[in-house]
Chains A and B, each alone.
Chain A
Amino acid sequence: DAGITQSPRHKVTETGTPVTLRCHQTENHRYMYWYRQDPGHGLRLIHYSYGVKDTDKGEVSDGYSVSRSKTEDFLLTLESATSSQTSVYFCAISESTGGRRTDTQYFGPGTRLTVL
């Protein structure tokens, strides 16, 4: 998985509780991404980061926040989890130097989150 780990790998939580998922990379890549994957949908971008402390929203960012205080770590937080956030969450990294060129994204193993 290209030097990417995600923790936890599985989590069950209750509606209304805060949840933080962690993505850790050992590749020193500049870009990091959080996606969710649900049956019947392609991967959908939640948030992404293009450097330390530099983040931006994706297409399904409502209810999620992120932080990146170090190159290697990208955290995804659900401030108050809802059942609609039950999903499989994937982190991805990309080496791109930015600008108009898009480069390959490599994915972590995923976190399966269930919100009861």
Chain B
Amino acid sequence: GESVGLHLPTLSVQEGDNSIINCAYSNSASDYFIWYKQESGKGPQFIIDIRSNMDKRQGQRVTVLLNKTVKHLSLQIAATQPGDSAVYFCAESIYGNNRLAFGKGNQVVVIP
């Protein structure tokens, strides 16, 4: 099917290694951030979120770090598995009224 990963930055990771995916956000007033995972031919899947009153949040095998000083968000995936191969993108709330702005994404390829 059509790939939404065309022309995206690509991170190649050995299976079992940790992955770090970065996102620079645009608005210092944004107070809510989400990471999504999108596999080919599927809809975006929620991974983890964080609000601006926190700088770190952990989930199962994933950690999100927020650095408000430099407007940077990162997603760390521990012990990367082949099923983690996908496009990952961040979203920020910049408009209010429950709207999000989405980044273009990063392609993660896990090498067995």
Contact = CB atoms under 8 A, between A and B. Distances in A.
B42 A42 contact: no
Interface residues of A, number: 31
Interface residues of B, number: 30
B112 interface: no
A102 B100 contact: yes
A22 B98 CA distance: 21
A39 B105 CA distance: 11
A15 interface: no
User: What 3 A-B pairs are tightest by C-beta distance, nearest first?
Assistant: A102-B93, A42-B102, A107-B43
Interface of A: 1, 31, 37, 39-45, 48, 50, 56, 58, 88, 90, 94, 96, 98, 100-110, 112
Given A96-B98, A110-B41, 12 more contacts: A37-B4, A42-B101, A43-B102, A56-B97, A58-B99, A94-B98, A100-B96, A102-B32, A103-B32, A106-B46, A107-B43, A110-B42
